[in-house]
Each structure stands twice: as structure tokens, then as C-alpha cells.
Amino acid sequence: MAELPEEFNCTITNWEYIYGLCRDVADEVRRDEFEPEVVVALARGGWFAGRCLCDFLGLDDLTSLKMEHYVGTAQKTGEPTVRYPMPEGSVEGKDVLVIDDIADTGGSISRAEAYVEQRDAGEVRTATLQLLDTSEFEPDYVGERLAEWAWVVYPWNFIEDMVDLLSGVMEKADQESYTADELRHYLAEYHDVKRIEMEIAQPNRLPEVLAEMERRGVIEGAGPGEYRLAE
């Protein structure tokens, strides 16, 4: 998320919604009569979807592939590369479904597909829960197409993303300190995250995120109910 501009729209999701997208992908795979023998879930965003797909499709073979966009100190290479390869024999001769949470540029899932194919898999197909129109890659199965680019905050990394978003907001707004309400105001202004939307998707989470930011030393208390970025 560090590479994004200061203002961009975010969509907060929850487990129920994402589970529904997993079910939609599984329905598509079944309708297509594709019967993968193994699911390759891209780490870390594809893990929840990969596990749910195994359940929906009746598979017990789930393996993982971690793609990485950067080498060394935040040096962009353009093409994502494989960080942790798959164990020997995990896909050889088997029909494979490669799954990730979202295709944004499409780089990760397309590289992953090529990697699995090179490992002498049988038929290899791809799926993502969500597809942005910026993607140059079209997965075989898609849970949902998003008409407008947004940063999607998934339930499995809600705290990670909110820490980044709130730190960014504090830096940009450049106030001495912030109340929780002021932070909500800036989340709406800079990221289109409205209070009600956030409370419906992830109720009562802001105090938890702020407490965690304090514990991690990202922010510090600045008087009762006020926070500022830590030095």
C-alpha cells in the first residue's frame, strides 16, 4: 500500500461478503465442469479464498505460492517474482486452480499461472475474488468485477490496512493531534470511507486499531481522547 498516492478510494469489506464471493467463484468453476485436483493459493491474499474453495469443491489438496513485487529495499522490478516455491510434486501432472484475492495489474496471478505451468502441471486455470478494470490479465473465474478502481480492505488484513490508512491520513492532514472523530472525518475525505459504511462492515473496530497503533509505537496519546503520530 506504500506506493499509493495520498488520496484514493477504499472499500471496506467483511467476512460474510467475501465468503459470498468465494461461493460465487466455486459456483462458476462447477458450472464450467472444471475439476481441479489441487488449489494453489497465492500468499497471503489468496489463502482464505483457497481454503473456502477446497471446502466448496470437495478438495483436500491446498498449496501456497508467495509472489513478491519487490527485491531488496523496496526496489521495484515490475514483474512479480516467486518468493517461496511450492513443495516438490505438489502440482506435477495435476489439474490446478490458482486463486488470489484481487487482480489489480494482473501481474501476480499471471506470473503464478506461468510458474505452475512450468512445473508440468496438467490443466491450469486461474480465479480471483475481485477484478479491477486496470488488470491486463483476465482470470478464468471472477467473483466480482469492480467498475472503478478502489483499494479493497479485506477482513484478514483489516488492522494492517487501517494502520497504513490512518498513519497516512495523520501525515497528510498535518494537525498537532486527532480525536477518533477527526480521524473518521479524514478517512471519509481522503479515502471515501464513510462512518456508517465502516461501522456496518467492521463494527466497533476503530478503538481497537488505535490501541494497536499505540502498542506498536506508531501513534502516542496526546491528552484525553487525542492521538498523534509517534516521533
Of residues 151 and 190, the one with the C-beta less far from ligand ADE: 151
- Over its C-alpha atoms, the chain yields an Rg (Å, rounded) of 20
By the rule CB under 6 A, 193 interacts with ligand ADE: no
Least distance to ligand ADE, CB of residue 166, Å: 17
Q: How many angstroms separate the CA atoms of 193 and 189, rounded?
A: 8
Nearest to 124 by CA among 103, 88, 99: 99
From candidates 115, 141, 151, 227, binder to ligand ADE by CB under 6 A: 151
By the rule CB under 6 A, 102 interacts with ligand ADE: yes
By the rule CB under 6 A, 100 interacts with ligand ADE: no
Please tell me the count of residues contacting ligand ADE according to CB under 6 A. Answer: 5
Least distance to ligand ADE, CB of residue 153, Å: 7
Question: Which residues, at least 6 apart from 178, have a Cβ–Cβ distance to it below 8 Å?
Answer: 170, 186, 226, 227, 228
**Region of 151 on the Ramachandran plot (φ > 0 left; ψ -120 to 50 alpha; else beta):** beta
By the rule CB under 6 A, 109 interacts with ligand ADE: no
Contact, 165 vs 11, CB < 8 A? Answer: no
Q: Which residues make up the interface to ligand ADE (CB under 6 A)?
A: 102, 104, 132, 151-152
